[in-house]
Amino acid sequence: MAKTKVSSEKGGSQPKTRTKQVRKFKGIFLSALTLNVFCLSLLAQPSPLPTPEDFFGFRVGADYHLLNYEQAINYWKKLESQSPKIKLFEYGRSSQGRPMILAAISTAENLSRLEHYKDISKRLALAKGLSTSEAQSLAAQGKAIVWIDGGLHADEVAPAQHIVELTYDLLSDPSPQTQKILEDVLTLLVLPNPDGMDLVAEWYAKNLGTPYETSPLPGLYQEYIGHDNNRDSFMLSVPETQSLNRVIHHDWYPHIFYNHHQTSPFPALIFVPPDSEPTNPNLPPLLLRWQNFIGTAIAKAFESEGKQGVISRFLFDTWYPGYITQVCDFHNIISTFSETFLFEYATPHFYKAEDFPPEYRDFTISLFFTNPWLGGWWHLRDAVEYCLTASKSVLDLAAKHKQELLYAKYAMGLESIERYKKEPPFGWVIPPGQRDEGAAARLINNLIALDLEVFQAEEDFRADGAPYPKGTYVLPTSQPFGRLLKTLFEAQVYPDLRRFPSLWQSIVEPIELKVPPLRTYDVLGWTLPYQMGVATSPLYSPLEIKMKRISRAALPEAQITGVGGYGYAISYANIDSVIFLNRLLKSGAQVFWAKEGFPAQDGQKKIFFAGDLIIPAGAFPPEKMKPLADEFHLQVFRLKREPRCPKQKVSLPRTALYQPWSHNMDEGWTRLVLEKHGFPYTSLHNAEIQAGDLRERFDVIILPNESPDFILNGHPMGTMPPEYIGGILPSGVRALGEFLKEGGVLVALGSSCDFAIQQFHLPVQNVASSLKPEEYFASGLLVRVRLDQSHPLAYGMPNEVAGFFANSPVFQDLPVPADSRPPVVVGKYAAEDLVLSGWMLGEQFLKSKAAVVEVPYGKGKIILLGFRVQHRGQTVGTFKLLFNSLYNAGSRDLP
């Protein structure tokens, strides 16, 4: 489609003078009121829209120029004030408080009937109660809703910039193609990461013209989760993901969802579907074909325009459901995504063939790389034009196939409803009386937020031979987006691509592969109830019982039982009891952990366990406890007398979290998880650690998952502005050593355990560090971990949890010097049935090895949390290992 070029060149100097002329005439009108007729005829002419270049003073994608979010929104507002074909909607606020705005573009007539078209889209999406002929009729009446976003990953800059120019092109291009798009498509243009767009533009502007012009941002481009903002789409942990989820899955119900990225596998200039293998087996077959069709249409548009370097079926696969596109797929929204080529920001770069990886230097052509790029200059403008070609080809396809697209969505919803009436799993049940009711409620509310239908049984029933009480949650797979439920709830069985090479290698004689890794682009196993520690059962036979649909998890009512004046006992099993506990501690209440189980009343059967909370009434009379109990749905037991068990006083620890000058998502996730559970903390940087005196300020310091080398050495000289160079360095290690000797606690997460082992010469070895890739591969799965529940680190937890394991350390004790206390193992990888969900090679290296270890050091200790206890905010079932590590640092045994 040559129109990309034509319309963008139209954004040059010519219309600028026309705009100015109109402004001049308007001035005459205001000062000479008698010239009404003349001026009215002039005003009747719509004033030409300002081009991006008029508005910003430079062309979108010009070398060394990046638009920030505020500029882009101001331009949108200007266009909205002048054109009836664009309407802006605020749909949320970012983590840093910026308004999240989308632009809907169509004909004025279509925009005046938005609610009507949204309603059609919703009815087709939900499918229920519509006959095929009614669906056909709605598909004929409706409009294709196409979502196009740019800038989710903010340092991939071209996509967000292209959105601005695409807006202008759609509003101003008189070509028949664009007019048909306006007529048949409601285009939604979105800049989904406002904070990131500003942070990156500001960083680039600051370094422009210095040696650090292309240096990476020394932090995250989303307040908490950075690049993982495209891994949060089923857990919905941050405000941006929550707002995007709401506007996509509860408001617009789009038909096509196009998510732009900019990390094309060099020297390809853009990646488009078909995607790589493995394919998630729960994706609707019809949707996969549409994806391939759209990807091929995009690729064809590039060849028509003579644009080289389009690649498909490479690197990016559809296995993990946390991507924003994947959650759309599971809502029967045909998603597509692309990865355009990038140098850095708006800085151009010249590529010679010698820069290419060896396998690309002879420009071999293949079916999915038909027209290799030969090298040359690559400017931001080139990337913007690639994004424009791709977006416009998708809109063109949507206009041409509008009715078919609308009907396909209905067909996919209906297929899911009908298929899982006949085929297991028929659904899942979540019985009441969960060990952790708070986690179960979070899971259920998350599913409802994802627009899944959740029911509650209104009678006792049996399913697959097992009895379930009234109040059991029932989640049928037979629903329009039932495939999402299935993919989140079942254990992942990763297809070992070595077994049947002919299934996925598109070559005459498929090659037998002996060695892994046969990796996927992201993790291999994620089963959400396992991660959250919620007990569920699949339904292998159809269930027909009386049940009602719910819009929120119904937690058990709070109860205060027992009589007595000493105080209260409360279970610590519920994840929300952590928030409650922090609230109590902040209010100055005294709280103790029982170090052994105890009976609620003398002579009674034991009902409280080690780790449960004992709260002397003192400053906390029942009338003060009641509202808190209600808020957290607590079962509170009033104690007559002080329990005789040994106790440990719980204090709010003075917590510090190390923040390296990198895009460390684990650091951000840790902050988020701490904040959500009410832990105050201080972020610590290299210089503050090196300055020492840490024990005076903190009880505990957390090292997030980070490579030992980066913690120690950080960025090398010359790669970043001087203030971000280096790691904690030997002086920081010494300061941490002093902190430990004086009784501080260091909590090492994931890879930072290796840092602690190496720098403090711990009598512990990571046995996974020396394994060869052909014998060991474990890049993200759930494994069974057994915990010592009597140890304070495991208080409130079951004896077995699903640990998220991603090339995590695996510990083995070494001989301990005679004058030292030995490490204490709190958690071990299971000896049997290790893999719970996903796949790994080399299970034998984990079995019975230590996963959670407390190592005494001076008066303090180092806690090694090997597997990823707070990974992506999803592993609610293991959060307490982190929280307890903190409480233990601030707490002490009673004499």
Contacting positions for Zn ion (CB under 5 A): 153, 156, 261
Kindly state the smallest distance separating residue 570's Cβ from Zn ion, in Å. Answer: 44
DSSP state of 58: S
CB 473 within 8 A of CB 456: yes
Report the SS3 class of residue 492: coil
User: Nearest distance from residue 214's CB to Zn ion, in Å?
Assistant: 17
In the complex, minimum distance from the CB of residue 376 to Zn ion, in angstroms, rounded to a whole number: 24
Q: How far is CA 386 from CA 485, 546, 594, 738, in A?
A: 36, 54, 63, 55
Which residues share a beta bridge with 148?
189, 258
Closest approach of Zn ion to the CB of residue 156, in Å: 5
Three-point CA angle 165, 170, 174, nearest 5°: 125
Secondary element (H or E) of residue 658: strand 655-658
Helices of type H across 130-250: 132-141, 158-172, 176-184, 194-207, 239-247
**Partners of 684 in the beta sheet?**
658
The structure tokens listed for 753 are: 């355990």
Q: How far is the CB of 572 from Zn ion (least distance, A)?
A: 40
Shortest distance (Å) from residue 263 CB to Zn ion: 6
d(CA 867, CA 781): 10
Toward Zn ion, which CB reaches closer, 261 or 486? Answer: 261
Per the CB < 8 A criterion, the answer to whether 387 and 162 are in contact is yes
* Cα–Cα distance measured from residue 176 to residue 450, given in angstroms and rounded to the nearest whole number: 38
The three-state secondary structure class of 460 is: coil
To Zn ion, the closest distance from the beta carbon of 264 in angstroms equals 10
Distance CA 766, CA 794 (A): 22
Torsion of CA 399, 401, 407, 412, to 10 degrees: -110
CA 138 – CA 132 distance, rounded (Å): 10
> Do 203 and 220 contact (CB within 8 A), yes or no?
no
Beta carbon nearer to Zn ion, 163 or 408: 163
Q: Which is nearer to Zn ion, 461 or 669 (CB)?
A: 669
Q: Which of 326, 337, 329 is nearest to 284 (CA)?
A: 329
Q: What is the dihedral of CA 860, 864, 869, 872, to 10 degrees?
A: 100
Nearer to Zn ion, 156 or 522 (CB): 156
Distance of CA 655 to the CA centre of its chain: 25
* Minimum distance from residue 153 beta carbon to Zn ion (Å): 3
Closest listed residue to residue 800, CA positions, set 879, 886, 863, 877: 877
d(CA 625, CA 712): 47
How near is the Cβ of 261 to Zn ion at its closest, in Å? 3
- Which residue's CB is nearer to Zn ion, number 157 or number 672? 157
| CB nearer Zn ion, residue 156 or residue 437 | 156
* Least distance to Zn ion, CB of residue 196, Å: 11
Q: How far apart are the first and last CA of the chain?
A: 80
Nearer to Zn ion, 217 or 585 (CB): 217
> Closer to Zn ion at the Cβ: 154 or 733?
154
For 427, list phi and psi in degrees, rounded to 5. Answer: 155, -165
Q: How far is the CB of 837 from Zn ion (least distance, A)?
A: 26
Residue closer to Zn ion, measured from CB, 98 or 261: 261
Minimum separation from the CB atom of position 588 to Zn ion (A): 46
Which structure tokens are listed for 209? 């013209």
Closer by beta carbon to Zn ion, 1 or else 310: 310
Cis amide leading into 267 (omega within 30): yes
**Minimal distance in Å, beta carbon 302 to Zn ion?**
20
CB of 696 to Zn ion, least distance (A): 42
Rank residues 261 and 401 by Cβ distance to Zn ion and give the closer one: 261
- Which of residues 144 and 217 has its CB atom nearest to Zn ion in the complex? 217
Strand partners of residue 825: 853
Nearer to Zn ion, 261 or 402 (CB): 261
Residue 474 CA to residue 547 CA, distance in Å, equals 8
Pairing between β-strand 824-829 and β-strand 892-893 as defined by DSSP bridges? unpaired
Cβ distance to Zn ion smaller for residue 261 or 872: 261
Q: Which is nearer to Zn ion, 153 or 654 (CB)?
A: 153
Cβ atoms < 10 Å from Cβ of 725: 16
How far is Cα 874 from Cα 868, in angstroms, rounded to an integer? 10
Q: State the minimum distance, in angstroms, from the CB of residue 390 to Zn ion.
A: 14
764 Cβ neighbours under 8 A, 6+ residues apart = 757, 811, 812, 813, 814, 823, 850, 853, 855, 864
